[in-house]
Structure 1
């Protein structure tokens, strides 16, 4: 029996991941010869890093992608787990230490191993965290139950998101087609290519979300099975299962939050520039948390920016100009702002049976929010909640009083961000701006109205 235990210990060292300290799960082998769980290596190799190195020997890898699963090592791992299970199921191996012939009463957190009292007192485990078996099992079972609740909540939310993806709240097909119709027949071929890309991206988003949901379902199944295991079997697999679950949950933001794609429309900005207007900011209604430049072309958040519960969280600034007819276009430089708000204000809206927004709404806004290093675009009112690759340098705003259209554009990419339509205006409309809320520890920059004769293109922006 002792020889069998020694062989199993040597085998276990060969089929154990040095990152999670558990048996391999989908093992991969990198160029230096060391092997790891695929999920563990993926978490270790940070996306965008200039070089990938081995987590064990630190040798720089020439590969830029996670290797394929090592099937032979995976089979060897399954064999080792089976041998270990059989040993644990034997009359001696399951209930007592083979070396000291004493029952297992302790559990080593570092080695994830059941111990007898004598083993627990050995120098090998002297610096390790050791707990009674019942206490350790109760701890892991509680963590697994909490994780199962989280997974159930995420799965329910993902089911709702998938339903929304199947019936998109944002009708990109209609909005993009509306832009191409302005450009006459010679743009129709480009419009069709653009719409095809949108359909492909919607399918890819659905597939990505479905794949994430499948991963959650698989983890839930494993959690349910783990909950039925006895204490010792549970303790052997719990830490690895927890680590793999956290890796899947860490990928959730990428899976459930759609990314705003650029769909360039040739000639779009040139066409909008035909109705370009020269705006200035109104200094009269400005509160104490923002300051307007002397030429009334830019606004900046002050360092003592605060939001009282009864106040607007944006501290908006109005334009001096008001519009009650016609088409108007202006551009705003937001290069130095991580967060901002742009839009229009109108006192009243005409009630219409076809009107599908809140009839009391008096503002229509596009907001940029920065969260954990990522940028998000949101609309109010409206369903837009999209993630961006990076900040926008300049935003174009197009207002058409009748039939009531407000559209926002990525000027650099000459692409549509979002369009409100139709809006039943009855009173004059004022553009509004807000350079915040500023982020803690970051010097706030200005939000600037671009001159009528200024133009932004990729070559100009890259040279700034």
Structure 2
């Protein structure tokens, strides 16, 4: 058999109908061999009786008998092939869950390498061999292994789905294209496949872009958290240091107050103790004189009494104590002076803190330019968009929705919808002005109310020296000096808007716990000219002293 195995090939033992090794092989009158069941089923449905190989037609259905020689050879070949498959199956991978199994394997199913769209079956390496070697099977369409091959067959015509209908967006067979879809735009699946594949490539690229954007956003968020942690640690350290100084200052002031009171009390006690000691000495002296006088008064010796009378009857050498007093000390003003000294220390510390805070917020400086489309027609803007003042002539400008038509105001071109920003405005030489930030949706027509409820967070100067914050209600501001340059700081997420006297490094006012849900724009109003008394411009100044 080994010699026969060397001379005979697998093709000689395959039924051309089932494409498998013969089972009960029979020979037709023309000399071709088939499985008995295969040729019988073929002739059951195909008349006239014709050989599937050479197409010879028989007048009547041939009587088929088993070809014992081919049957024995096929059995031996099948056994040999089974042994070879068994030895090679150890090298092939067994089908795992989720993998397509070979449809021909019996018992242990091996992993399929290809699926045939003609045979509607999937084959492992061994059972795929005929499709790679036999000329008739080489023409079959192979593809990567897939399950549910029946789903690739038209249910209506039992034909392969190999066309695509663009009108109905569905896969169809050849018969569908000439019946139900004959007027539709139908073309091979490959064309639609290439188009859809290109779309998938584009979609995949977009998804990869979105993935990358989200990864970058994650990194950004992580960096923000890390920065927030660093800021929190820095603020904590600074806060601990400041409050430690405060506590030390308070404790030192308290100790000095207590020492001052105790020192005064000690001096009072020492003075009283000195008086008491002196009085006790005088009492002893007087008691001695009294005893001598009593003895002398009872004396019967006339000479002795007369001789000592002058000495003992004279006034004793003692002090007059009528005006001598120890007044209880008054401590009025002691605590006040101590607190006043503490307040002075705190004031100096606050100045240092505000100066440090101002330097930090100045790191958020933005470069602003005024937006001419929002400016009131009577305002005059500089060419570079950094200065604004009130003019006496109303210019003929388009009344666009963004423009203020009653209040002499203007917005910056730049806006903020997240994060922090800072800018400085020179107000030197002005008698009136308004500064701050506003919501994008504020009313810009007619009379305007500058309140947070209406989207305005501003402070103002009136009558040369009256400062006010337009809160709800408004707050009169008591400033130690007139600011010549005002800094404005906004923290969008924190809901904070702070105004600073830049030169004095002092906080003017803060709006806190604000809720921002739209863009914020810097707001400027130089107020009216007042016949030249308020002609100085508001000037957006660059921050040049950041360290």
Q: Fold conserved (TM > 0.5)?
A: no
TM-score normalised over the length of structure 1: 0.38
Q: Which structure has the greater CA radius of gyration?
A: 2
Bigger relative contact order (CA 8 A; separation at least 6): 1
